[in-house]
Each structure stands twice: as C-alpha cells, then as structure tokens.
C-alpha cells in the first residue's frame, strides 16, 4: 500500500499536488499504519473481523421508483466514511463493483445504486401499478429525478445506518463517473442547501467528490453554471480524474479545474498544500480510456483505487468530523 502510493507520481501527474506534499501525506499514512498494526500484548491475538458481504437492497423513492442498489458495509462503526458511487449513461452498478470492493476493503462503507432507467431500476409505481421505464425515452425530468428522488432516498438509507452507529454521515463522499459525475455535482449542491433547524442539521454532509471523466454537458444538462455554487467553492474537497490521451476529456476537465480553482486561496508552501489543499486534478498517463472503461480496465483500476484512497484519507479520514445522530431532511 505505501509502496504503491509512494510510486504514484510516476504513474499519474497532479495539478497543484507537489511530490513533496505527496511524500508528506505518505509519511503520515506510514506513521498511522505503524501504530495501528503494532502487535497486541496477548498470547493469542484475536482474529480480525471480516467486512459484511455485499448486500443487494431495494429502496422505494417518493415518486415510486423501485431503486435497486448494492451496499458494502463496514466494521469501523462511527469512524466509517460512507461513499455513494454513481455509474454513467447506459451503465449500471456492476460497473463500480471492483472499485466498491476495494474501498470496502479499506474500511469504508459503499452504496452503489442503479440510477433510474438503468440496470435493475426500471420499475416505477404509478397509481399503485408497476410500470416500466424506457431508457430510450428518458427526458430531462428523469435526470432531475435522479437528483431529487434517487439520491435523496440513498441519503435517507445512509442516515439510518448513521443513527445505528455504523458510519458517520458527516464524512460523506460521492464518486461519479461521466453522467454520474453530473448527478453527483448537482446533488451535492442540493444537499448543501438544506436549511439547518434548531433540532439539528438537515444536510451539508457531502465533504468530498470524486469526478471520473466528468463532462461539462450531458444530453442538454450543463454543469458549467454550477461550478460557483456551494459546496464546489471550497466546502467540499474535489478530485477530478481523467485519462490524458483524450484531448476532449482533458480540455473539459482542465476548464472545470481552472474554474473551481478560482474560488480557492493560493497555497504557497508544501506544508500548506499538504494540510489545506482540497482540489486535485489527477491525469492517468498514457491512456485514452475514460469513465466506465477506466473502471473496467484491470491495469488502471488499481491506480484509480490508490488515487481515491489517498484523497479520502487526506480529506476525510484525517479530518475531524464528529459523529451525531441525525434526522432525515425536510420532506422525507
């Protein structure tokens, strides 16, 4: 693990993440691991607990969608980072199985839904009857409902897990690939606009986003006008990942990175970057692959796993986000 991270600069290039800053974070990782893996003073050490097996679940949204998802649980309790992973257009949760298993093995809890009209999430209850969703005829309202219905139901599920002490919703991370990146960005903005109530927080839980080959536009939906919104202006950390041999994808991600970077303070020293930097652009060298093809390539997936793991460790695991019981957002 540490060897992999330490050699990362030879496999990927980073904008704004110097090799010295990277070395600093690796050193901190090494110190933490050395302490946590120190042998216990016991004659027969306890057998380490195993993560729960992935569980297929069905969740009904407020508009009647029979949302299918897979949940990868954790045994880390209230320290657990929850991750929502979102697939691309015409994809399914199966595309993210490999990355989800890798993240679960690192101690995180992951939920991967089939967004409406995709995979097994093609049934919706209307006036008490189940009807099919035809992906070929999906319109703008269906994509909006991925944000307002599908992701809100996923959040409600995670709040239930939070209140059971199985994770910390305050450390919420979203990973989105292509279309899923647009859904992730728009839902993160929505989550940060839930008003706080005297009884407690209703939102503002998304603390990190991982955007894999994010397009600026998709089927008439643009995120260009959302890049100056909370949480993208600095309330949440952002990692953008792209293959560097696709000029179109590189151009779009560089534009996105440049726009997001305008809202962040200038960090002048390696120490500042190691502690405060919250925007990263990672290019996978020597590949034209993007999105789902990155996720399904066995030679690239380990690189992506290392990038995402180090980002989450730096911006979520090492930061203090106190656990608290939560009520569901307004309207649920």
Tokens of 64: 């009647």
Predicted pLDDT at 117: 98
147 in Cβ contact with 188 (< 8 Å): no
Tell me the C-alpha distance between 319 and 304, whole Å: 22
Predicted pLDDT at 139: 93
Tell me the C-alpha distance between 262 and 266, whole Å: 9
Across the beta sheet with 109-113, the strand order is 12-15, 279-284, 237-243, 206-212, 172-177, 82-86, 109-113, 66-72, 55-60
Q: Where are the domains of the chain?
A: 2-19+69-112+140-317
Fold of 2-19+69-112+140-317: Rossmann fold (3.40.50)
Predicted pLDDT at 186: 95
What is the model's pTM?
Answer: 0.86
Count CB atoms within 10 A of the CB of residue 234. 14
Q: Which one, of 113, 153, 98, 122, lies nearest residue 295 by Cα? A: 98
* pLDDT, one tens digit for every residue, the chain (332 residues): 322 332 333 344 445 443 333 332 322 333 222 222 233 344 445 556 799 999 999 999 999 999 999 999 999 999 999 999 999 999 999 999 999 999 999 999 999 999 999 999 999 999 999 999 999 999 999 999 999 999 999 999 999 999 999 999 999 999 999 999 999 999 999 999 988 888 888 899 999 999 999 999 888 788 888 999 999 999 999 999 999 999 999 999 999 999 999 999 889 998 888 888 999 999 998 999 999 999 999 999 999 999 999 999 999 999 999 999 998 665 55
Tell me, what DSSP letter sits at residue 313? I
Sign of CA dihedral 211, 215, 216, 220: negative
69 in Cβ contact with 120 (< 8 Å): no
Tell me, what DSSP letter sits at residue 196? P
317-322 contact pairs (CB < 8 A, 24+)? 317/81, 317/171, 318/28, 319/207, 321/168, 321/170, 321/171, 321/207, 322/170
Tell me the C-alpha distance between 92 and 116, whole Å: 10
């Amino acid at each position: 693990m540490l060897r992999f991270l330490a050699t990362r600069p030879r496999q990927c290039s980073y904008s704004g993440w110097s090799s010295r800053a990277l070395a600093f974070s690796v050193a901190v990782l090494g110190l933490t691991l050395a302490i946590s893996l120190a042998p216990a003073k016991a004659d027969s050490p306890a057998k380490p607990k195993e993560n729960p097996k992935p569980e297929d679940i069905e969740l009904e949204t407020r508009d009647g969608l029979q949302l299918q998802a897979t949940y990868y649980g954790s045994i880390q309790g209230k320290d657990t980072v929850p991750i929502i992973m979102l697939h691309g257009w015409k994809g399914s949760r199966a595309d993210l199985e490999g990355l989800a298993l890798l993240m679960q093995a690192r101690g995180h809890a992951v939920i991967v839904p089939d967004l409406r009209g995709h995979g097994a999430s093609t049934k919706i209850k209307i006036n008490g009857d189940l009807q099919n969703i035809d992906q070929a005829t999906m319109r703008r309202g269906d994509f909006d409902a991925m944000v307002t219905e599908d992701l809100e139901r996923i959040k409600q599920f995670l709040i239930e897990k939070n209140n059971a002490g199985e994770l910390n919703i305050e450390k919420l991370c979203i990973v989105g690939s292509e279309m899923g990146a647009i859904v992730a960005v728009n839902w993160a903005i929505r989550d940060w606009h839930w008003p706080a109530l005297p009884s407690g927080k209703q939102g503002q839980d998304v603390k990190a986003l991982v955007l894999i080959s994010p397009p600026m536009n998709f089927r008439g939906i643009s995120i260009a006008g959302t890049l100056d919104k909370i949480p993208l202006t600095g309330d949440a950390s952002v990692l953008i990942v792209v293959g560097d041999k696709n000029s179109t994808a590189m151009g779009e991600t560089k534009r996105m990175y440049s726009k997001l970077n305008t809202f962040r303070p200038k960090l002048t020293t390696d120490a500042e970057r190691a502690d405060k930097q919250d925007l990263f652009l990672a290019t996978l060298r020597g590949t034209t692959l993007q999105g789902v093809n990155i996720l399904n390539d066995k030679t690239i997936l380990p690189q992506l796993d290392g990038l995402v793991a180090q980002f989450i460790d730096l911006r979520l695991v090492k930061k203090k986000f106190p656990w608290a019981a939560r009520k569901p957002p307004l309207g649920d």
